[in-house]
Amino acid sequence: MITIYHNPRCTKSRQGVAFLNDSGKDFKTVLYLDNPIDKDTLKNLLKKLDYTPIELVRKNEAIWKEQFKGKELNDEQIIDAMIEFPKLMERPIIVNGAKAVVGRPTETIEKLL
């Protein structure tokens, strides 16, 4: 089952949902801002993405700039920041089995289908 971690307020995330709809594939949508993910899920997503925690952070978000930018943070602290402030995570994240991609640009989703 394909899963998309979606923020409906984000244009790229809405484009990811539209892409999956157009593909005709069944998928599940996780509204991660309304139903925050736990630390184990985030670590699993990072593994499937083959990302370090900092690679998944939206560094232009105000929360990041105000609270974290310029600080020496280890991976656990970055993960904790994304758990506390899920808006910091790049989006959309699309998962299919053992692989995942960030759907920016939308065409990267093709790799999973």
What CA–CA distance (Å, rounded) separates 103 from 17?
10
Q: pTM for this one?
A: 0.94
| CB neighbours of residue 109 within 10 Å | 23
Which strands form 27-31's sheet, in the order they lie side by side? 27-31, 2-6, 93-96, 99-102
Answer yes or no: 10 catalytic. Answer: yes
Which entry of 10, 30, 63, 112 is annotated as an active-site residue? 10
Number of domains in the chain: 1
Residue recorded with tokens 């990302």: 51
Domain residues for the domain of 53 are 2-112
Per-residue pLDDT tens, the chain, 113 aa: give them: 999 999 999 999 999 999 999 999 999 999 999 999 999 999 999 999 999 999 999 999 999 999 999 999 999 999 999 999 999 999 999 999 999 999 999 999 998 99
Cis peptide before 86 (omega within 30 of 0): no
CATH number at residue 8: 3.40.30.10
Query: What's the Cα-to-Cα distance from 72 to each of 15, 68, 86, rounded to whole Å?
Result: 34, 9, 20
